[in-house]
């Protein structure tokens, strides 16, 4: 069986980022296809599974309790299960990134401001 999901049908609201949850399509993985401009990105959150990012274009500034890192086009980043994290697009080129969730459903818990600040993952 082959199933094709059209990216335009997966867009979040009126934004450019697409959200794919695998379960309805018979897939064991889910992902966000991120398309952010400078300064955009999600607030601090955590997943009960690992998340693997493939940077397709631009740069991402990543924050975890371990510190800060920048990922560029071609880089692959793995965020371990239970690791609080946030990222922002940096630089003039839009950030295009596949954020692959090792789960058929996206599960993410956003941290409140105090918890995010304590974990060092605020922007």
Structural domain includes residue 73: yes
The residue range of the domain holding 76 is 7-119
We report the CATH number of the domain holding residue 43 as 2.60.120.10
Q: Mind listing the pLDDT tens digit for each residue in 17-35? A: 999 999 999 999 999 999 9
Are 98 and 54 spatial neighbours (Cβ–Cβ below 8 Å)? yes
Q: Are 51 and 41 in contact (CB under 8 A)?
A: no
Q: What is the pLDDT of residues 71-110, one digit of tens each?
A: 999 999 999 999 999 999 999 999 999 999 999 999 999 9
Residue 1 maps to a domain = no
Residue 2 lies in a domain: no
> How many domains does the chain contain in total?
1
């Amino acid at each position: 069986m082959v199933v094709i999901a059209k990216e335009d049908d997966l867009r979040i609201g009126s934004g450019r980022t697409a959200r794919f949850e695998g379960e309805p399509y018979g897939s064991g993985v889910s992902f966000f296809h991120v398309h952010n401009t400078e300064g955009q990105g999600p607030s601090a959150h955590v997943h009960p599974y690992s998340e693997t990012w493939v940077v397709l274009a631009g740069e991402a500034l990543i924050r975890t309790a371990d510190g800060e890192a920048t990922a560029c086009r071609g880089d692959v980043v793995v965020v371990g299960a239970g690791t609080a994290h946030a990222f922002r697009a940096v630089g003039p080129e839009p950030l295009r990134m596949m954020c692959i969730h090792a789960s058929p459903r996206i599960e993410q818990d956003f941290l409140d401001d105090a918890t995010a600040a304590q974990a060092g993952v605020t922007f």
